Amino acid sequence: MTLPRLGVNIDHVATLRNARGENYPSPLRAALLCQEYGADGITTHLREDRRHIRDDDINEIIENISIPLNFEMAPTDEMVNIAVNAGPNACCIVPEKREEITTEGGIDVRSNHNILVPKIEKIKKNNIRVSLFIDASMDQIKMAKEIGADIVELHTGEFCRKINYNEDASSELERIREAADFSNSIGLELHFGHGITFDSVGELSKIKEVKEFNIGHFIISESVFLGLEKSISKFRELIKIGREIQ
Ligand code: PXP
């Protein structure tokens, strides 16, 4: 049985560092420890305002880790140039609004079509895989395929929020399931990301098409209580249990 990969997003280690303007905790140290503790990849989002990870962090991380780096970025020329120079394993293109607390929804592939096409072309020409972070919508998935994405990462935030607040999440889950099935049927690799916690990962890992989870805020938060190693191994265990009982 092949289990979905676990990518750990280390942005919030940088958030902590930046909150005090010190040089600790180190995102590189976090990336190396995640690797040691069984993460299959590292994810990080270089935001336009550099509110967490900075340019130097990306270079340091990529030079020192041996697992894949998934580079989250807005579709701007600046970010494409940084990605092409750094050479991550994949670029995950996300929408970005300066005032948002986190990435609130997926990118609208239809209205951003003309912005995305040349950027995807350039990234792929440099042998970097392209992932689009989108909502679980058939139209978005179809467009993602048409414009050359290799991967779609479906935004799981609303499903996870409902689970956290004990609301009925069944229709969200059904929407994600149908989108997963459709993505797989048209040859897109499927990832899930955003808001995933110990309580929501099990249901999501029952969806057999998912190849990768990208999880950040909850892992870093839970590390305050459990430590990074236990947070990562608990996620791996829950992913395995979910997959076994699908
Ligand atoms: N995937 C993408 C594309 C994201 O933008 C984020 C948040 O930055 C994540 C995964 C991780 O989400 P969270 O920090 O809520 O686990």
Can you give the residue ranges of every domain in the chain? 5-244
pLDDT at 100 over 90: no
List, for residues 214-243, the tens digit of each pLDDT value: 999 999 999 999 999 999 999 999 999 999
Between the CA of 49 and the centroid of ligand 1 the distance, in Å, is 17
* Separation in Å, CA 224 to CA 16, 111, 227, 228: 12, 40, 6, 8
The answer, yes or no, to whether any atom of ligand 1 lies below 6 A from the CB of 91, is no
pLDDT at 246 over 80: no
pLDDT at 104 over 80: no
117, two tokens: 């096409």
- Tell how far CA 145 is from the center of its chain: 18
Average pLDDT, the chain: 96
Indicate the SS3 state at residue 34.
Answer: helix
List, for residues 11-61, the tens digit of each pLDDT value: 999 999 999 999 999 999 999 999 999 999 999 999 999 989 999 999 999
Cβ count within 10 A of residue 176: 24
pTM: predicted TM-score of the whole model, two decimal places: 0.96
Which atom in ligand 1 lies closest to the alpha carbon of residue 195? 15
Residue 154 CA to residue 133 CA, distance in Å, equals 6
pLDDT at 173 over 80: yes
The answer, yes or no, to whether any atom of ligand 1 lies below 6 A from the CB of 238, is no
Superfamily, domain 5-244: Aldolase class I (3.20.20.70)
Residue 1: predicted pLDDT: 78
pLDDT at 181 over 90: yes
pLDDT at 98 over 70: no
Residues in the chain: 246
Tell me which residue of 37, 3, 1 sits closest to 213, measured CA to CA: 3
Residue 245: predicted pLDDT: 78
123, two tokens: 């990234």
